[in-house]
Amino acid sequence: MAFRQKHLLGIEPLHPDEITTVLDVAERYVDLNRQADKHSDALKGLTQINMFFENSTRTQSSFELAGKRLGADVMNMAMQASSIKKGETLIDTALTLNAMHPDLLVVRHPHSGAVDLLAQKVNCAVLNAGDGKHEHPTQALLDALTIRRAKGRLHRLNIAICGDIAHSRVARSNLMLLGKMENRVRLVGPPTLVPQQFREFGCEIYDDMAEGLKDVDVVMMLRLQKERMDGGFIPSEREYFYRYGLDADKLAHAKPDAIVMHPGPMNRGVEIDGTIADDINRSVIQEQVEMGVAVRMAAMDLLARNLKASREEANGVMV
């Protein structure tokens, strides 16, 4: 089985085979999670620390549940209320935690690259749960699993990622993953929110929803990240919804069996019409949440296997 990573910091360093491996392992955890006894011992005896320097409910609880179902000891640290406020640097925080011998460190941070920096300073496996506007690899993996299950494949699909690309780490991880798996990715949104540089990654860029959604297999909506905006990206939410919000009329341009995705949390009536989000024939938004737990279990399982292997190797050398 091919998965050689020490950390999961992003999609960028992953080989397509590694992506497939994560998804295959995750499939098994989807089955496990649907049983009455959802427990496995894959992470038994290991300690998982969730460090969230940015608010999160969904991702954090998904990681927490994933760890608990695999038998790890899980600790959540609300970093916003902690020593960061007292002036401790990120690296000092990392070293402090490292001294507690965690095995898996799940980190979210408001600055791009912060998780990479932290990973250099600790000797456990680090999972990036979102760093600034850079990457959110488990989100892209869970989206990939959702697409693969709904479409039966993860290649040669037309996929539109719509909305606030500029502020979105989800978009970056997704377009990289979908590109690696040989899909055609379109980015659709107002030019103030869609960096034109993404053309150089092989994406097609549209500022018109009807054109952008024409004949796509997957419509991925993104949340308008108002908290990251310093003003002036769009004139108003109502105009945004009128021009870029996903409603039945705009969705009609996509293929009849196109699925609708959203990483959540949704702004209903801003980027997506409530009836589309709730349409069980089109929307796979609830499925995404389910896949999230399974993918995170798979990622932590695979990283823990590599961690154990490297420790055994180190011990072997000592003997």
Cα–Cα dist 32/146, whole Å: 16
Q: Which of 114, 147, 218, 260 binds another protein (CB under 8 A)?
A: 114
132 binds another protein (CB under 8 A): yes
The residue range among 74-82, 112-120, 148-156, 276-284 that interacts with another protein, by the rule CB under 8 A, is 112-120
Minimum distance from CB of 106 to another protein (Å)? 17
For residue 57, give Cα distances in angstroms to 61, 64, 176, 194, 253: 6, 10, 25, 27, 34
111 binds another protein (CB under 8 A): yes
231 binds another protein (CB under 8 A): no
Binding to another protein (CB under 8 A) within 4-63 occurs at 12
Minimum distance from CB of 191 to another protein (Å)? 13
223 binds another protein (CB under 8 A): no
164 binds another protein (CB under 8 A): no
* Secondary structure (3-state) at 26: helix
Q: How many residues bind another protein (CB under 8 A)?
A: 23
Nearest partner of 5 among 168, 119, 91, 133, judged by Cα: 119
169 binds another protein (CB under 8 A): yes
Strand order from edge to edge, sheet including 104-109? 73-78, 47-52, 104-109, 125-131
Nearest partner of 24 among 5, 48, 2, 6, judged by Cα: 2
Q: How many residues does the chain have?
A: 319
In terms of CB distance, is 157 or 203 closer to another protein? 203
In terms of CB distance, is 226 or 268 closer to another protein? 226
Query: Are 129 and 157 a contacting pair, CB within 8 Å?
Result: no
243 binds another protein (CB under 8 A): no
Binding to another protein (CB under 8 A) within 179-218 occurs at 195, 197-198, 200-201
Cα–Cα dist 249/253, whole Å: 8
Q: Which of 18, 131, 271, 301 binds another protein (CB under 8 A)?
A: 131
Minimum distance from CB of 125 to another protein (Å)? 18
Q: Which amino acid is at 191?
A: P
Query: Are 132 and 7 a contacting pair, CB within 8 Å?
Result: no
103 binds another protein (CB under 8 A): no
Q: Which residue intervals of the chain are DSSP H helices?
A: 16-33, 58-69, 90-98, 114-119, 137-151, 169-180, 209-212, 237-244, 248-251, 274-277, 285-318
Minimum distance from CB of 113 to another protein (Å)? 3
Helix axes 16-33, 169-180, angle to 10 degrees: 110
Q: Which of 32, 75, 77, 117 binds another protein (CB under 8 A)?
A: 117
Minimum distance from CB of 94 to another protein (Å)? 11
In terms of CB distance, is 71 or 195 closer to another protein? 195
Binding to another protein (CB under 8 A) within 134-153 occurs at 134-135
Residues binding another protein (CB under 8 A)? 12, 89-91, 109, 111-114, 116-117, 131-135, 169, 172, 195, 197-198, 200-201
